[in-house]
Structure 1
Amino acid sequence: MRENLTSVSSADMAFTDCVHPTDLSADKKGIKRKNWRHRIRFLLKTNSSHSILHLMKNRSYRPSVDDVNQWAQSLDKLLGHKYGKAAFHIFLKSEFCEENIEFWTACEDFQTLTAHKDMVSKANSIYEEFIKSEASKEINLDFFTKNAIVQCLHAPTSTSFAEAQKKVYSLMENNSYPRFINSDLYKELCAAAKGEGKHIKS
């Protein structure tokens, strides 16, 4: 993980997806580094059949080196792979901005709905959790995009969150994704894919 966050200007802060002024101290960065290491080690040690650990230890199901290399080709390829998406989620949690991928995923789920009742329920749930001011996982959206969502909550369509989802995707693609690909976490996952589990220390 790159540690040059202190060079981000106040003007640029509005366009970053994860960085908050209170996160820029050396202590915070140390905590974040420890945080992702703890999370990845946990996943690589758990016995859950759905965990990355099980995947990495079982050669039949482990992401291949090619799989992991493809994650570095584009955010789309990363999110399109079950375990790549899981690893990216862990990384975003370590940067305290997992709300971005969770919102993106909620939008993907929303687009699969067809019943009006289900769409209204899901749309309002997404709004309450990610869109409204002071929401528990409020994402970084401009007023006009938020307002457009509010206007269609009573009669949502499959594209109601399309613009917001596009903006959040762009934020992840331009900020979090490059940091993930250059992070020690990704390097350790590459090593695990090659069967070099010894590089992920307990």
Structure 2
Amino acid sequence: ICCFYRSPAAGAMAWSENMDTLLANQAGLDAFRTFLKSEFSEENVEFWLACEDFKKTESREKITSKAKMIYSEFIVADAPKEINIDFSTRDLISKNIAEPTLKCFDEAQKLVYSLMAKDSFPRFLKSEVYRKLVNSQQVGNHKRWLPFL
């Protein structure tokens, strides 16, 4: 049986499989952020990451303070990194921010994830940033056939 050997450097190719693979990899996340910055839309991934961090918060005081920080940075109208979400989602968060729960940003996070997956992620895979990463890894990754695997 003959099998293809993949070096660990083949990571960039794997990112194209789905956005979760990309976001779970620090190098992939860094490359995606660089791309989003070039498109002036890095607030989406920054909001998504802030929500992921927020969901791990354990103390009541930190839940309240982190929720207010996320709200003022991404949700409130004219926020410094305002995300593009519909009025009803924004309104629901505004009503719940006084007594936030770990789920208070879930709907907005799903919307932003969906927007990135349908719009930014496919453009990233066609971008120069991504192409250069894949090409640099392919040059350094001599493909070998290992008949003993």
Q: Relative contact order (C-alpha < 8 Å, sep 6+): which is higher?
A: 2
Q: State the distance in 1 between where 2:122 and 2:8 align.
A: 20
**5 Å matches for 1:161-176?**
161-176=105-120
Give the equivalent residue in structure 2 for 1:80. Answer: 24
Could you say which residue in structure 2 is the equivalent of 1:134? 78
**1:95 matches 2:39:** yes
Distance 1:149 1:63, change over 3 A: farther
* TM-score normalised to structure 2 length: 0.86
Conservation of the 8 A alpha-carbon contact between 1:128 and 1:135: yes
CA drift of 1:195 comes to: 4.2
Amino acid corresponding to residue 138 of structure 2 in structure 1 = K
Q: Which residue of 2 aligns with 1:24?
A: none
1:194 shift after superposition: 2.7
Aligned residues: 134
Q: Which runs of 4+ in 1 moved over 4 A?
A: none
5+ residue gaps, structure 2, are 1-6, 141-149
Larger Rg: 2
Q: Which runs of 5+ in 1 are unaligned?
A: 1-61, 197-202
Q: Deviations over 1:88-113 (max 9, x none)?
A: 00000000000000000000010000
Structure 1 or 2: more strand by fraction? 2
The residue aligned with 1:38 is none
- Which residue pairs with 1:117 in the alignment? 61
Superposed CA offset, 1:52-111 (max 9, x none): xxxxxxxxxx9611x111100001110011110010000000000000000000000100
CA RMSD of aligned residues (A): 1.3
* TM-score computed with the length of structure 1 as normaliser: 0.64
The one-letter code of the counterpart of 1:134 is D
2:9 partner amino acid: S
The corresponding residue for 2:9 is 64
Match for 1:137: what amino acid? K
Contact 1:68 1:193 in 2 (8 A): yes
Q: Check the 8 A contact 1:131/1:139 in 2, yes or no.
A: yes
1:157 maps to which residue?
A: 101
Give 1:58's aligned residue. Answer: none
What secondary structure is seen at the aligned counterpart in 1 of 2:82?
coil
Letter paired with 1:132: V
Identity between Structure 1 and Structure 2 (%): 46
Is contact 1:119–1:157 with CA below 8 Å preserved after alignment? Answer: yes
